[in-house]
Chain A
Amino acid sequence: MAITAPPRSAERHRAHPLDAVFSPRSIAVVGVTATPGTVPYDIFHNIRQAGFVGPVFPVAPGKREIDGVPAYRYLLDIPDAVDLAVIVFPAEVVDRAIDHCVRKGVQAAIVISAGFREIGPVGLKREQRIQALCAEHGIALVGPNCLGVINTDPAVRLNASFARKMPHTGRIAFLSQSGALCTAVLDYAREKQIGFSKFVSFGNKAGVTEVELLEYLHHDARTEVILLYLEELRDVRRLMETAQRVTRGELAKPILAIKAGRTPQGAAAAASHTGSLAAEDAICDAVFREAGIVRVDSIDELFNIAVMYAQQPLPAGPRLGIVTNAGGPGVMAADAAVRLGLELPPLASSTQQALRGVLPATANVKNPVDVIGDARADRYDVALRHVLADPAVDQVLVILTPQSMTDIAAIAARICQLAGSEEGPKASQALPRKPLACSFMGAEDVAEGVRILQQAGIPHYILPEWACRAMAGVQQILRVRQEAIDQPRPLAVDRQAARHVLASAPAGYLTEDEALQVLSAYGLPVPPWHLCRTPDEAAAWAEAHGYPVTLRVASRHIVHKSEVHGVALDLRDAAEVRQAFQAMERRVAVARPDAHIAGFIVRRMIPSGHELIVGAKRDAVFGPVVMFGLGGVLVELFGDVTFALAPLGPAAAQRMIRRVRAARLLEGFRGQPRADLEPIVQCILRIGQLVADFPRIAELDINPLLACPPPIGCQVADVRIRLA
């Protein structure tokens, strides 16, 4: 039966397609049952319990009412307009429900039901059908197989989920691909007094994905920080581009993410360096970092950083002042802070002098400031005032261990006052507002103090190291914000020439001659070379171009030339060239009688320089990826490489270079010459464009790319290209 959708009335126009998901004016729950404890009933119950501000219609065939609310047999029987349908029918009939949504003019559908792609081919077909229906008729589809959606905005109060309770209102948005994780996170957050603006479990993401949600939340005035839990990556390019825009620029908002790792299936041993180094998780790390996403490894870390960012002002810099009543934890905090990239500045001499005047003689007035174990609220107060006022301090960590005389609740209350919370604004008016976190170490004895802090919005962490990690996370967020958005631009290259070489080459490795032709076509700095078939030809070329030269066997069947003694270096005259040619020809014929030899490549020797590796591969998840590192034979030992999606622009390429740990060598370390970075950036950009332009390129390795002092610049010393 043909489905005709009703015309969309102008007055129901929305500013954004996801407004109907998060702020619907009316909801129908489709497939409600009368049995408490079942998902269909509980969803309906939860929406009403949370106090949704608009009408909620139960669609429950065969029922007159559910919980006293008149029920309808079909969505189409509801006389009012319906913005959002929350579908809880079994999977096999969800497509019928979506048909009715189309005919009713519903703008968004959340499909809670399981039984789709996650169960196999039958479920996948069901999912594709509802996906197609919704896409064709412009219905924003969340799910299927999800926990639901929560919006804590008091003007909406939407709990369209089977989470037990509505979370507190806050400024953190949480997006999760795992429904099972969501309920645990909600419970965890309630206990810690952490509130949310929006909470979405997007399940199988058949319609709305994390990309659309990030775009929406970017402009959501009630959301200040976005948390993301992902298992599966699909459209990585779009995710990265969206995340770049969200985390940088005027409306910048941080994105913190857990990407659950997956072991690559059947990792094949790759002949090239790039293949063996590019484990999927390392690429994910690099891609997330380039996108501005702060990747973390646990739910704790996620919220620890989010709370620090959302509940406290932003620090002016990385300098941390610590106030503690226990020396040991103070030292541990100091170690953690420095390890995580924060700074522990000495306090101003005036601050130290002032502290010496008011603290006991045994107190430590350096940083950390140790107010000693018998400190009570008054001593904490005076120490904290001075540390907060010190211009060398950007943020403060207060550590407390519960001694018998420690008046924990009073100290907590005093901290709240000094931090400028609502509890005592007057007390803090003379002090600059700097971010502050606490670590009241313990559990039972400190519980009341912790409650006071949490209620006042002062971040609390059981361990000082966690506080340091949270503050370091905020620094990461601020650094991202300083970075320019990457803008790849097409480069002037000879695509036709490259295509000509690649089109006729079989699967497997190109010969070195072919690979050099491809690189030349894309403007890589390839020193002049010649493919020779006789010793005289090689010698003649060397005579014409100058010495010393190298000689290398060119065969698509010989990848590791040195293993068959297929490389000769530093040949200084014609006689040496001829001799080397003849000897190599004999050796290779013995070692690899099966290999087809295209010839021997003669080339001028490149002067020494920094050995770099620039590579690329086509990843099953991430698509074309480039790799950069300091290369040579040690690259696989140290794995000091970084990755980026291809194609990329100059900003991303420059960041790739800086992220390599050994990048300092390029700046001229211990007498080594300084390298000009611009030619290296160009090489990375051109390799990125090459691998993006030609899907047949499965792997590419330039190792080494020699970064020589000017005027020579970068030179390709060796290259391998493998075609699929």
Chain B
Amino acid sequence: MNREEIEQRVKKVICRVLKIDQSMIEPSSHFVFDLGAESTQSVELVAAFEQEFGIELEDDAALAVKTVGEAVDFIAERLA
């Protein structure tokens, strides 16, 4: 899976969990400040990414990810 594909799938998950339009999402978008993720939704996002990509993500490290771009990098590293 290349980075572009990962990014597309990450955006789809974000749209679903946060219930926002894809047009809002940029790689630099901060989950909280730009996309309005509440604290419970951050946990939901991690679980949704795990399910989408069939991987396990370490909670502490995953919750430390702040932007969409960082999330893509984080997942890409674990898929490689």
Report which A residues bind B (CB closer than 8 A). Answer: 31, 33, 35, 38, 40, 60-63, 73, 89-90, 92-93, 96-97
B78 within 8 Å of A (CB atoms): no
B30 located at the interface, meaning its Cβ lies under 8 Å from any Cβ of chain A in the complex? yes
B26 → A minimal CB distance (Å): 12
Contact between B33 and A63 (Cβ–Cβ < 8 Å)?
Answer: no
Whether the pair B38, A61 counts as a contact (CB closer than 8 A) is no
- Residue tally, chain B, CB below 8 Å to A: 14
Closest partner residue, chain A, to B38 (CB atom): A33
Interface residue B32 (Cβ < 8 Å from any Cβ of A): yes
B residues whose Cβ falls under 8 Å from a Cβ of A: 18-20, 24, 30, 32-36, 38-40, 66
Q: How far is the CA of A507 from the CA of B29 in the complex (A)?
A: 57
Chain A residues within an 8 Å CB radius of B39: 90
- Closest residue of B by beta carbon distance from A100: B33
Number of A-B contacts (CB under 8 A): 35
B20 close to A90 (CB less than 8 A): no
Q: Is there an interface contact between A62 and B33, defined as CB atoms closer than 8 Å?
A: no
The answer for the CA separation of A559 and B59 in the assembled complex, in Å, is 62
Complex Cα gap A413–B18 (Å): 60
Give 10 nearest A-B pairs by CB, closest first.
A61-B36, A62-B36, A93-B33, A62-B20, A33-B38, A96-B33, A93-B32, A62-B18, A61-B35, A62-B35
Residue of chain B at shortest CB distance from A40: B38
Question: Which residues of B lie under 8 Å from residue A35 when comparing CB positions?
Answer: 38, 40
Provide the bound-state CA to CA distance between A484 and B33, in Å.
Answer: 53
Docked-complex contact B36 and A90, CB < 8 angstroms: no
Q: Could you pull out 13 A-B pairs where Cβ atoms are within 8 angstroms?
A: A31-B32, A33-B38, A60-B36, A61-B20, A62-B18, A62-B24, A63-B36, A73-B34, A90-B39, A92-B66, A93-B30, A93-B32, A93-B33
CA distance A695 to B30 in the complex (A): 49
List chain B residues, Cβ under 8 A from A62: 18-20, 24, 35-36
In the complex, A60 Cα to B35 Cα: how many Å? 9
A37 to chain B, nearest CB (A): 12
Residues of chain A within 8 A (CB-CB) of B35 are 61-62
Q: Which residue of A lies closest to B33 (CB)?
A: A93
Q: In the complex, which residue of chain B has the Cβ closest to the Cβ of A96?
A: B33
Q: Would B32 and A90 count as touching, CB distance under 8 A?
A: yes
What chain A residues lie within 8 Å of B32 (beta carbons)?
31, 89-90, 92-93
**Chain A positions within 8 Å of B20 at CB level:** 61-62
For the complex, what is the distance from the CA of A60 to the CA of B36, rounded to whole Å? 6
Residues of B within 8 A of A38 (CB): 38
Chain B residue nearest to A30 in the complex (CB): B33
CB-contact partner of A97 in B18, B33, B38, under 8 A: B33
Task: List the A side residues contacting B19 at CB < 8 Å.
Answer: 62
Q: How far is the CB of B61 from chain A (nearest CB, A)?
A: 16
B45 CB to nearest A CB, Å: 13
Pairwise interchain contact A96-B38, C-beta atoms closer than 8 A: no
**Cα distance A657–B30 when bound, in Å?**
62
Q: Select from chain A the residue with minimum beta-carbon distance to B19.
A: A62
Query: Nearest Cβ in chain A — how far from B13, in angstroms?
Result: 14
Choose among B33, B40, B66 the residue that contacts A61 (Cβ–Cβ < 8 A). B33
CB distance from A398 to the nearest CB of B (A): 55
Contacts of B66 in A (CB 8 A): 92
Bound Cα distance A265, B19 (Å): 52
Residues in A whose Cβ lies below 8 Å from that of B33:
61, 89, 93, 96-97
6 other A-B residue contacts (CB within 8 Å) besides A61-B33, A62-B24, A89-B32: A33-B38, A35-B38, A62-B19, A62-B35, A93-B30, A96-B33
Separation of A96 and B35 alpha carbons in the complex (Å):
13
How distant is B4 from chain A, measured CB to nearest CB, in Å?
Answer: 24
For residue A66, give the distance in angstroms from its CB to the closest CB of chain B.
11
- Taken together as a complex, chains A and B put the C-alpha atoms of A35 and B18 apart, in Å, by 13
**Which residues from chain B contact A93 at a C-beta distance below 8 Å?**
30, 32-33
Q: A38: shortest Cβ distance to chain B, in Å?
A: 7
A71 to B39: give the CA distance in the assembly, Å: 19
Q: How far is the CA of A38 from the CA of B37 in the complex (A)?
A: 13
Within 8 Å CB of A61, what residues of B? 20, 24, 33-36
Residue picked from A40, A60, A73, most chain B C-beta under 10 Å: A73
Query: A96, B36: Cβ atoms under 8 Å?
Result: no
Tell me the nearest residue of chain A to B40, going by C-beta.
A35
CB distance from A36 to the nearest CB of B (A): 12
Bound-state Cα–Cα, A73 to B20, Å? 11
Tell me the nearest residue of chain A to B20, going by C-beta: A62
Residues of B within 8 A of A73 (CB): 24, 34
Residue of B nearest to A34 (CB): B38
List of B residues within 8 angstroms of A89 by Cβ? 32-33
Q: Considering the complex, give the chain B residue whose CB is closest to the CB of A41.
A: B38
A97: chain B residues within 8 A (beta carbon): 33
Say whether A96 contacts B24, CB under 8 Å.
Answer: no
Cα distance A38–B39 when bound, in Å?
Answer: 10
Q: Which residues of B contact A63 (CB under 8 A)?
A: 36
CB distance from B18 to the nearest CB of A (A): 6
A33 to B40: give the CA distance in the assembly, Å.
11
Interface centre among B36, B38, B39, B66 (most CB of A within 10 A): B36
Q: Once bound together, how far apart are the Cα atoms of A63 and B20, in whole Å? A: 8
Q: Which residue of B lies closest to A94 (CB)?
A: B33
